[in-house]
A and B are shown apart, each in its own frame.
Chain A
């Protein structure tokens, strides 16, 4: 799972200029899809990436808990990305490593190395909608953004933190998704997401994700340092912070397989 690239990848400048000067009679659905394709295209070419990710979980009582994860991901053309995550905290899961080959449609391939058992286990599950490590982020919120994962509808233009934003509704294709739709605010200049509202299976507001402190890497890849997810139904929240982004470090397929998983520590 490309813990970081995912929704962020929808980020990128570029090719607004390349886009044909507004197609005539474009429907809202077509426009939504076009924006998604442009967003995806704008972030292409990052090749591989590494970063340190921390999560701070809070419940309604104000209690907090911290998770620390190191992650690597590899850009795969015409498929979902590959990612490898190593858990550092909580202490009792230290060294646990998670390998994922995500696919735009259908179940992802996932393996987990459990150091206490000294075994790699393949996880066969269609579920991407559960909470990631008890946080308010679902697994599907963190996996890489692929155009085929959703159908789209452009809603309106609106001012947002990143300037002028497209407001686009995204409807998950996967029937195991926990959402009926997501409403995404993407700035028109760089295609960076600024806010996502998640609607649950009965189309009630569930969570809101906001992006903060964007930085530009390699001249075109925008990544936020902070993402805040608030669950409106439970009052719980999770802050996700990133440090030490590195791009194009020379990772390859051979760094993302069952055998490397054991050595991932």
Chain B
């Protein structure tokens, strides 16, 4: 059956190519349905507890997606008539931003004061045309002394100011809503800068972050995918010295990527930051199949076998190993389904499909193309094989040092794993070249960080927020929060009520305190609410029956661990000071803070299941329980070592890296499969001892492993250049792990085999080590001419 398929491919290459083209294009046409969803919420599954709690908070109060214009005058002084006029105008225009529901700035801040029995509520800068230089010090005084504005809308020195737009995205068309907002605010920024050349503007906020997910990922694909194609083409031309083979490989890659993305589109999937790295991963992984087929084919042809026969032989020899390696790779990627974060599930499934498609294209359209394209073989000497034999010689000779030495190094690196810190800082998902990151870093340096926590305090009774004891708790909490070294800003109802109390007592500063009477607070609030303009109401701080209030704390940027610690510190504060109220803390920052850990736990399970599946598959393929177990070490060690090395490189792991172990497992298994199957072939079918078998394995697959590893590492290193750090880190660690896997397979696995699998004679020889060198020479000569026999070594 299998042979008939190969026969058909060789005999009717044009048909096979036509059918493949038809299939690839049919599938690829689904790509038109593939759209990018730019919303940080996609990172969270619907059952994610932090998301659920945040969403319910948003339903009770209001949504808090925002865009922040960060304005910094060149002369470092916001309080100038011209600058305030510019901010006033920008504030007015901001109401025109699509989906905007609220605009906060220093100019429209609702300033309250009293004159005799009058209570005046007015924009801080009502009419910019009448501003005089003499007003400036008064306005600055008001702004920097107002806790609701300081560090949020104005810096302490008065050198940076923010216009903050709250948007309420309907979520009806998530693909277009964010870009709509972004294109409007960018247009506003450009006009603003043109009209006010002495003012600098940065754009930050959740909406800008959402947009950056899409922009960073898409620009990545526009630059990194072509680079990767270049790397593959150059690599193949130099290492395999074949133009036709390279062309055929590129076709397989193109078909695999196009069909994968198309099928994802037909399935109604959408793209997200992580899943947008699918093309580059499929590209990288698809190369390996082709390299194995080409290597064997060229070997045969050099032996004088005709092209058609060589192609067919190569397919026959490689069918099972590349099927097996594709399947294990797919299983590894499918372990991502255990991830708590849907984009990674999508990534896993898409790449798994891509890898299997690449396998199908490699045994159909690839040989068909090779059949039609001109192929010439020069009788060149196997330079790299010589190198491989040299490595084999060294490994065999130094096995007694390598085994404990490598074991020591592996353990030493692996013990570093727990020292990695858990951190998901969504700002740092983007590198410094991304404008959002620059803007947010600038905001962090001059005003406040992006880390926020929304604390909902429920009094459990209607109008309960007016109760003096409740207000005191809110006030105490706010003071306590402000005393924490991490805190930049606290937005709290208690400040508003204190200010109103002062206003109602002729602005007497001694009344800047919470009223002792429930009715007073209620009536102040009623008065205040009746005086506020559209969009600047208290509905974002109070729920509908005034039983609960939301305090929003903004912190300097913290690691996930620090945030979780801060979260529990706040809960502890309530347990100690106000256990009678129901408290919920939620925010996007906290969602990200928790997801790394959640994902690591869920991925531990996923990776374990993948490991079991893969080991069982290997045990069957190698027809040996013993070798199934031995294979565990070279399959597990690289991920452990990768994370150990990661501690030395970066030391922070999170969402993206928690999937790397599962993902790489399926890839690095390939090396072990190839190496062990050749080794066993020599041991079983040729009666060789373990040292000879190691030498044979090096000679027959060493070069292919070397080449595929170079390609894989190169591919993931290209991904590591991504400006989207989530993908970049994932690429870097994956590349690193694959490289380590090759080192382990070359330097640790052979000595291990030679110890655990040595023959009785070898045991004796080991007692007289002097003789081993001579013996090795002989084995080397013996194994050189034997690659043609390495047929059907599996099953």
> Which A residues fall within an 8 A CB radius of B?
57-61, 63-65, 87, 90-93, 96, 98, 110, 112, 114-117, 119-127, 129-134, 138-139, 176-178, 200-202, 204, 233-236
Q: Which residues of A contact B97 (CB under 8 A)?
A: 202
Whether B770 sits at the interface, judged by CB under 8 Å, is no
Q: In whole Å, how far is B113's beta carbon from the nearest beta carbon of chain A?
A: 10
Whether B62 contacts A124 by the Cβ 8 Å rule is: no
Name 26 interchain pairs, CB-CB below 8 A, sorted by A. A57-B544, A65-B462, A65-B545, A90-B522, A92-B518, A110-B530, A114-B524, A116-B523, A121-B504, A123-B531, A124-B118, A124-B119, A124-B122, A126-B533, A129-B535, A131-B529, A131-B532, A133-B526, A134-B538, A134-B544, A138-B534, A178-B534, A202-B97, A202-B98, A204-B98, A233-B101
Whether B523 contacts A114 by the Cβ 8 Å rule is: yes
Q: Which residues of B contact A110 (CB under 8 A)?
A: 530
Which of B100, B120, B519 meets A92, CB within 8 Å? B519
Given known A60-B59, A96-B523, A116-B523, contact A122–B117 (CB-CB < 8 A): yes
Bound form: Cα–Cα A90–B525 in Å: 12
Whether A123 contacts B119 by the Cβ 8 Å rule is: yes
Q: Which residues of B contact A178 (CB under 8 A)?
A: 533-535
Whether B542 sits at the interface, judged by CB under 8 Å, is yes
Q: In whole Å, how far is A98's beta carbon from the nearest beta carbon of chain B?
A: 7
Q: Which residues of B contact A124 (CB under 8 A)?
A: 118-122
Bound form: Cα–Cα A122–B98 in Å: 36
Which of B119, B463, B518, B529 meets A130, CB within 8 Å? B529
A177 nearest in chain B by CB position: B534
Kindly list 15 other residue pairs between chains A and B, CB separation below 8 angstroms, not including A123-B119, A233-B170: A57-B545, A59-B544, A61-B59, A92-B466, A92-B519, A93-B519, A117-B520, A119-B504, A120-B117, A122-B118, A123-B118, A123-B531, A129-B533, A133-B526, A178-B533
Whether B537 sits at the interface, judged by CB under 8 Å, is yes
Q: Which residues of B contact A127 (CB under 8 A)?
A: 121, 531-534
Whether A93 contacts B544 by the Cβ 8 Å rule is: no
Whether A202 contacts B537 by the Cβ 8 Å rule is: no
**Quick one: CB contact mask for B489-530 with A, threshold 8 Å, 1 for yes?**
000000000000000100000000000011111111011011
Q: Which residues of A contact B532 (CB under 8 A)?
A: 127, 130-131
Given known A117-B504, A122-B118, A134-B529, contact A90–B534 (CB-CB < 8 A): no
Whether A115 contacts B62 by the Cβ 8 Å rule is: no
Interface residues on chain B, size class: 35 or more
Q: In whole Å, how far is A191's beta carbon from the nearest beta carbon of chain B?
A: 28
Which of B96, B118, B522, B537 meets A131, CB within 8 Å? B537
B548 nearest in chain A by CB position: A63
Given known A122-B118, A130-B532, A234-B168, contact A63–B527 (CB-CB < 8 A): no
Bound form: Cα–Cα A90–B678 in Å: 83
Whether A233 contacts B168 by the Cβ 8 Å rule is: yes
Given known A125-B120, A130-B530, A130-B531, contact A204–B99 (CB-CB < 8 A): yes
Whether B56 sits at the interface, judged by CB under 8 Å, is yes
Whether B526 contacts A96 by the Cβ 8 Å rule is: yes
Whether B523 contacts A117 by the Cβ 8 Å rule is: yes
Given known A129-B534, A131-B529, contact A59–B543 (CB-CB < 8 A): yes
Which of B56, B517, B533, B534 meets A116, CB within 8 Å? B517
Q: Which residues of B contact A117 (CB under 8 A)?
A: 504, 520, 523
B466 nearest in chain A by CB position: A92
Whether A61 contacts B530 by the Cβ 8 Å rule is: no
Q: Which residues of A contact B534 (CB under 8 A)?
A: 127, 129-130, 138, 177-178, 200-201
Whether B743 sits at the interface, judged by CB under 8 Å, is no
Which of B62, B463, B517, B539 meets A91, CB within 8 Å? B463
**Quick one: CB contact mask for B537-574 with A, threshold 8 Å, 1 for yes?**
11100111110000000000000000000000000000
Whether A93 contacts B95 by the Cβ 8 Å rule is: no
Whether B530 contacts A112 by the Cβ 8 Å rule is: yes
Whether A121 contacts B530 by the Cβ 8 Å rule is: no
Whether B60 sits at the interface, judged by CB under 8 Å, is yes
Q: Which residues of B contact A92 (CB under 8 A)?
A: 463, 466, 518-519, 521-523
Q: Which residues of B contact A98 (CB under 8 A)?
A: 530
Which of A93, A119, A177, A235 meets B526, CB within 8 Å? A93
Whether A134 contacts B542 by the Cβ 8 Å rule is: yes
Which of A116, A121, A130 gathers most chain B CB within 10 Å? A130
B520 nearest in chain A by CB position: A116
Q: Which residues of A contact B247 (CB under 8 A)?
A: none
Bound form: Cα–Cα A112–B531 in Å: 11
Whether A132 contacts B530 by the Cβ 8 Å rule is: yes
Whether A90 contacts B119 by the Cβ 8 Å rule is: no
Whether B139 sits at the interface, judged by CB under 8 Å, is no
Whether B527 contacts A123 by the Cβ 8 Å rule is: yes
Number of A-B contacts (CB under 8 A): 151
Q: In whole Å, how far is A217's beta carbon from the nearest beta carbon of chain B?
A: 28
Whether B536 sits at the interface, judged by CB under 8 Å, is yes
Bound form: Cα–Cα A177–B534 in Å: 8
Q: In whole Å, how far is A80's beta carbon from the nearest beta carbon of chain B?
A: 17
Q: Which residues of A contact B533 (CB under 8 A)?
A: 126-127, 129-130, 176, 178
Whether B535 contacts A115 by the Cβ 8 Å rule is: no
Tell me which residues from 25 to 77 in chain B have a Cβ below 8 Å from any Cβ of chain A. Answer: 56, 59-60, 62
Whether A112 contacts B527 by the Cβ 8 Å rule is: yes
Q: In whole Å, how far is B752's beta carbon from the nearest beta carbon of chain A?
A: 61
Whether B544 contacts A64 by the Cβ 8 Å rule is: yes
Q: In whole Å, how far is A56's beta carbon from the nearest beta carbon of chain B?
A: 10
Bound form: Cα–Cα A51–B788 in Å: 101
Bound form: Cα–Cα A130–B110 in Å: 12
Q: In whole Å, how far is B397's beta carbon from the nearest beta carbon of chain A?
A: 74
B463 nearest in chain A by CB position: A90
Bound form: Cα–Cα A130–B539 in Å: 10
Bound form: Cα–Cα A139–B466 in Å: 23
Bound form: Cα–Cα A202–B544 in Å: 26
Whether B60 contacts A61 by the Cβ 8 Å rule is: yes
Given known A131-B539, A134-B546, contact A119–B117 (CB-CB < 8 A): yes
Q: Which residues of A contact B122 (CB under 8 A)?
A: 124-126
Q: In whole Å, how far is A72's beta carbon from the nearest beta carbon of chain B?
A: 18
Whether A134 contacts B119 by the Cβ 8 Å rule is: no
Q: Which residues of A contact B56 (CB under 8 A)?
A: 61
Q: In whole Å, how far is B356's beta carbon from the nearest beta carbon of chain A?
A: 44
Bound form: Cα–Cα A138–B529 in Å: 11
Given known A121-B117, A130-B533, A131-B537, contact A116–B527 (CB-CB < 8 A): no
Which of A64, A121, A132 meets B527, CB within 8 Å? A121
Q: In whole Å, how far is B128's beta carbon from the nearest beta carbon of chain A?
A: 14
Q: Which residues of B contact A129 (CB under 8 A)?
A: 533-535
Q: Which residues of A contact B168 (CB under 8 A)?
A: 233-234
Tell me which residues from 154 to 184 in chain B have a Cβ below 8 Å from any Cβ of chain A. Answer: 168, 170
Q: In whole Å, how far is B164's beta carbon from the nearest beta carbon of chain A?
A: 16
Bound form: Cα–Cα A119–B463 in Å: 22
Bound form: Cα–Cα A171–B719 in Å: 55
Whether B520 contacts A121 by the Cβ 8 Å rule is: no
Given known A65-B462, A90-B462, contact A133–B529 (CB-CB < 8 A): yes
Whether B544 contacts A123 by the Cβ 8 Å rule is: no
Whether B530 contacts A63 by the Cβ 8 Å rule is: no
Q: Which residues of B contact A132 (CB under 8 A)?
A: 530
Q: Which residues of A contact B100 (CB under 8 A)?
A: 202
A94 nearest in chain B by CB position: B519
Which of B95, B466, B524 meets A202, CB within 8 Å? B95
Q: Which residues of B contact A201 (CB under 8 A)?
A: 95-96, 534
Q: In whole Å, how far is B109's beta carbon from the nearest beta carbon of chain A?
A: 13
B103 nearest in chain A by CB position: A201
Q: In whole Å, how far is B471's beta carbon from the nearest beta carbon of chain A?
A: 12
Q: Which residues of A contact B545 (CB under 8 A)?
A: 57, 63-65
Tell me which residues from 434 to 469 in chain B have a Cβ below 8 Å from any Cβ of chain A. Answer: 462-463, 466
